[in-house]
């Protein structure tokens, strides 16, 4: 059961990663990157690392995304890869 779940999560994570680098819109790129972190934190839970999971969720998908968004907001009208 767990391996299947893990595989699914990994696939989501990788798709999110591809989206993050390849999608035309920077905004969606940033949010996808946040999604990758979020998936990763679930993966950490499965891998018996709750501390890491919490950190990744709070920092990787939370704060880091906020920072990206702050910077994006300063840079307007520009979203091509």
Q: Note the residues at the interface with other proteins (CB under 8 A).
A: 2-3, 6-7, 10, 13-14, 17-18, 20-21, 26, 29-30, 33, 36-37, 40, 43-44, 46-56, 58-60, 62-64, 66-68, 70-76, 78, 80-81
User: What is the closest distance, in whole angstroms, from the C-beta atom of residue 42 to other proteins in the complex?
Assistant: 11
Q: What are phi and psi of 70, to 5 degrees?
A: -60, -45
3-state helix, strand, coil in the chain (%, to 5): 85, 0, 15
CB of 1 to other proteins, least distance (A): 11
Between CA 45 and CA 77 the distance in angstroms is 39
């Amino acid at each position: 059961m767990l391996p299947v779940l893990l595989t699914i999560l990994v696939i989501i994570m990788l798709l999110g990663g591809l989206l993050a680098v390849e999608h035309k819109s920077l905004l969606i790129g940033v949010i996808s990157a946040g999604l990758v972190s979020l998936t990763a934190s679930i993966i950490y839970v499965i891998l018996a690392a709750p501390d890491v999971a919490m950190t990744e969720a709070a920092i990787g998908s939370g704060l880091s995304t906020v920072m990206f968004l702050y910077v994006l907001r300063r840079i307007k009208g520009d979203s091509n890869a």
